[in-house]
């Protein structure tokens, strides 16, 4: 489906360059080099086009995670997975910008809410899986719920900061922040806090 492949790239470029409000079927068709009629064959409305583009971002991230080579070391495995979720290169920066645009739009567009929630739940479950894995290896505290919330918040915060100030939040600084967090988890696991602290 060459037309569908062209349609995939069109919304991304328009949204990143001009904003979500300009990602109409007409503008995306023009960007993709397609007629409006051929694009309307796939998407009857801007909302359908946005759902498709958002789904494409989620699918690309999931596909990249699924294709990671097996890593027996839990710490290195955690770092590799977390690196795939941060904007460390052009592809992931583009996904991050699109993700933020779509999640903002989901506040007012019911068609995008389910996808936003699906992505949020998948990220949270991924964080929980990483923490469960690290905890079993003695590299994270056993309070998985609290640590999942912390890791999820750290990832979200880093992604937002990297989108706003990529000059400060570089790939190197993002990886360093993750490494420091994982170091801190291992220290906390080795020296648990006294009860009540």
Over the stretch 37-57, which tens digit does the pLDDT of each residue have?
A: 666 667 777 788 888 888 988
* Residue 3 pLDDT class (50, 70, 90 cuts): very low
Look at 131 and 196; give whichever has higher pLDDT.
Answer: 131
Within-domain flag for 69: yes
| Per-residue pLDDT tens digits for 156-178 | 999 999 999 999 999 999 999 99
Q: Once rounded to an integer, what is the mean pLDDT over residues 112-138?
A: 96
Q: Are residues 15 and 96 in the same domain?
A: no
Same domain, 73 and 26: no
Residues 128, 88 within the same domain? yes
In a domain, 197, yes or no: no
Q: Is the pLDDT of residue 58 over 50?
A: yes
**pLDDT of res. 94:** 87
Residue 195 resides in a domain: no
DSSP string, the chain: -HHHHHHHHHHHHHHHHH-GGG--HHHHHHHHT--HHHHHHH-SSHHHHHHHHHHHHHHHHHHHHHTSPP-SSHHHHHHHHHHHTS--SHHHHHHHHHHHHHHHHTTT-HHHHHHHHHHHHHHHHHHHHHHHHHHHTTSS-S-HHHHHHHHHHHHHHHHHHHHH-TTTS-HHHHHHHHHHHHHHHHHHHHSPPPTT-
Range of the domain at 72: 51-190
């Amino acid at each position: 489906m060459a037309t569908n492949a062209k349609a995939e790239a069109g919304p991304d470029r328009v949204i990143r360059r001009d904003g979500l409000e300009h990602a109409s079927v007409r503008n995306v068709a023009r960007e993709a080099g397609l007629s409006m009629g051929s694009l309307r064959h796939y998407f009857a409305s801007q909302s359908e086009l946005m759902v498709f583009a958002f789904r494409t971002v989620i699918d690309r991230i999931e596909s990249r995670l699924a294709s990671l080579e097996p890593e027996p070391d839990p710490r290195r495995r955690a770092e590799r997975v977390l690196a795939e979720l941060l904007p460390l290169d052009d592809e992931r920066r583009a996904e991050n910008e699109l993700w933020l645009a779509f999640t903002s739009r989901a506040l007012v567009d019911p068609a995008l809410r389910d996808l936003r929630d699906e992505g949020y739940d998948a990220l949270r479950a991924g964080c929980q899986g990483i923490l469960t894995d690290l905890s079993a290896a003695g590299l994270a505290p056993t309070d998985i719920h609290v640590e999942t919330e912390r890791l999820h918040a750290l990832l979200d915060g880093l992604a937002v900061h990297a989108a706003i100030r990529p000059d400060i939040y570089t790939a190197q600084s993002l990886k360093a922040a993750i490494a420091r967090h994982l170091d801190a988890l291992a220290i906390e696991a080795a020296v648990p806090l006294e009860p009540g602290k």
